[in-house]
Amino acid sequence: MGAYILRRLLLMIPTILGIMLVSFLVIQFAPGGPVEKVIAQLTGTDVSATARIGGGEGGDFGGAQPGSQSGGEAVTSKYRGAQGLDPEFIKELEKQFGFDKPAYERFGLMIWNYARFDFGESYFRDISVIDLILEKMPVSISLGLWMTLLSYSISIPLGIAKAVRDGTKFDIWTSAVVIVGYAIPGFLFAVLLIVLFAGGSFFDWFPLRGLTSENWSDMSWPARIVDYFWHLVLPLTALALSAFATTTLLTKNSFLDEIRKQYVMTARAKGLTERQVLYGHVFRNAMLIVIAGFPGAFISAFFAGSLLIETIFSLDGLGLLGFESVINRDYPIVFATLYIFSLLGLVVNLLTDLIYTVIDPRIDFESREV
């Protein structure tokens, strides 16, 4: 097992390098950038979703000041909208954002810093990237953790019930409901929930913004807990709608495979009750693949499912941070979050394999090729 873990860890290096290289190349060919963002803000032509006139939040554009070139000469610039701005100011911007260096040098420096978990500072916020990520992480952890626990607590019992009643009306109708829920986009369902229950056109039962009320610090601890979960109801409902399908059907199929095996028939022949057979013999083997997939399901909910939901419900987490960073061309945040998420995904994949061996010692990855 030690050799297998070592091989997997070594394979993470070229994998993460490939992910970062492809992403870096895509960014190089993508239109716009932080320099263009600043120019657009200064000239009043920034029409992005998070536009701020007069420069980015907490931004410091260096000592150079924008202005017309002396002598009234036209300024030739590779940046759209830069005509009329002082060339020295443009060069100062490029130096501040690191674009005075060639692309290969910038990529090498970024990888060297990231290997030491040095993510630098945000272009447009007066805060380090790692501090900003840690500041936003509790919101995303709340959504990912509770959504995963909610999904498993409903999907596993439902999947077992469907396996036991395979082919009955209960199985057919629940399958239809699960598949329809899986087909509905979470962000559309979130909008529907807001319209129905958050002061849209019908009821005003649930809060629309944040995870806590403004007077949360003045509440007692029981009131804080109630207020926290009251804010979570709509986001979790929107997130969990499509999460039931995969785990439910996976649990059902896994139980069906085990129920049809010879050892189950032997247990029944010994006179054990159906409940003893199901939970005493079938459960452990059938739940192997479901339990081992828990870390992956949490990471998926944590990172992938929160972007639109956080944006719709104005939850200040990593999803909203990533969205704003892409819009604002805040590359240090974009690449840092990509690096961290990719690294965590690779570690979770390894952890999932190790959980398999803990649950079922018969599984031996040591004898298998990676």
| DSSP secondary structure letter of residue 368 | S
Give the CA diameter of the chain. Answer: 100
Average pLDDT over residues 296-325: 74
R_g (Cα) of the chain, nearest Å: 26
Residue 70 has pLDDT above 70, yes or no: no
Q: Is the dihedral of CA 331, 137, 244, 240 positive or negative?
A: negative
Highest mean pLDDT, choosing among 49-58, 153-162, 204-213, 267-276: 153-162
Q: CB atoms < 10 A from the CB of 91, how many?
A: 14
pLDDT band for position 21 (50/70/90)? very high
Distance CA 43, CA 22 (A): 32
In this structure, the chain runs to a length of 370
pLDDT grade for 348, boundaries at 50, 70 and 90: confident
Structure tokens at 62: 């260096």
Average pLDDT for 118-145: 85
Predicted pLDDT at 44: 63
d(CA 177, CA 130): 42
Distance CA 203, CA 112 (A): 53
Q: Taking a C-beta distance cutoff of 8 angstroms, is the pair 224, 303 a contact?
A: no
Rounded to an integer, the average pLDDT of 44-69 is 48
pLDDT of 72 reads 39
Top pLDDT among 139 and 2 is at 139
CB pairs under 8 A, 24+ apart, for 153-159?
154/240, 154/244, 154/248, 155/243, 155/244, 155/247, 155/248, 155/251, 156/247, 156/251, 156/287, 156/290, 158/244, 158/248, 158/251, 159/247, 159/248, 159/249, 159/250, 159/251, 159/252, 159/254, 159/255, 159/290
Question: Using 50, 70 and 90 to split pLDDT, how confident is the model at 74?
Answer: very low
Average model confidence (pLDDT) across the chain: 78
Does residue 64 surpass a pLDDT of 60?
A: no
- pLDDT for the residue 26: 87
Residue 86: per-residue pLDDT: 67
Section 330-341 average pLDDT = 88
All structural domains of the chain with their residue ranges: 26-128, 130-327
Beta bridge partners of 128: 121
Rounded to an integer, what is the distance from CA 353 to the centroid of its chain? Answer: 21
Task: Return the percentage of the chain with pLDDT > 70, whole number.
Answer: 80
Which pLDDT belongs to residue 202? 80
Q: What are phi and psi of 198, to 5 degrees?
A: -125, 40
Q: For a pLDDT cut of 90, what percent of the chain falls above it?
A: 8
What's the rounded Cα separation, in Å, for the pair 199 and 7? 54
Spatial separation of the C-alpha atoms in residues 206 and 62, rounded to whole Å: 45
Confidence band of 329 (pLDDT split at 50, 70, 90): confident
pLDDT band of residue 79 (cuts 50, 70, 90) is: low
Would you state the pLDDT for residue 56? 40
Q: How confident is the model at residue 359 (pLDDT cuts 50, 70, 90)?
A: low
Q: If you average pLDDT over each of 77-86, 219-228, 295-304, 347-356, which comes out highest?
A: 219-228
Rounded mean pLDDT, 233-243: 82
Instruction: Evaluate the CA torsion angle 26, 13, 337, 35 in order and state its sign.
Output: negative
Tokens for 99, please give them: 């674009």
Say if residue 207's pLDDT is above 90: no
Mean pLDDT, residues 116-131 taken together? 87
Q: What is the pLDDT of residue 29?
A: 76
Bridge partners, residue 316, by sequence: none
CATH superfamily, region 130-327: MetI-like (1.10.3720.10)
pLDDT: which is higher, 172 or 49 = 172
Q: How far apart are CA 88 and CA 91, in angstroms?
A: 5
Which residues, at least 6 apart from 204, have a Cβ–Cβ distance to it below 8 Å?
A: 197, 198
Spatial contact of 93 and 66, defined as CB atoms under 8 Å apart: no
Q: Pick the closest to residue 255 from 370, 166, 352 (CA basis).
A: 166
- How many Cα atoms are found within 13 Å in the side-chain-facing hemisphere of 280? 10
Identify the pLDDT of residue 92: 79
Instruction: Output the six-digit token pair for 72.
Output: 């009234």
Pick from 189, 296, 282: which is nearest to 247 by CA? 296
Is pLDDT at 104 greater than 60 in this prediction? yes
Q: Which residues contact 16 (CB under 8 A, 6 or more apart)?
A: 339, 342, 343, 346
How far apart are the C-alpha atoms of 328 and 34, rounded to whole Å?
A: 7
Is a pLDDT exceeding 50 seen at residue 65?
Answer: no
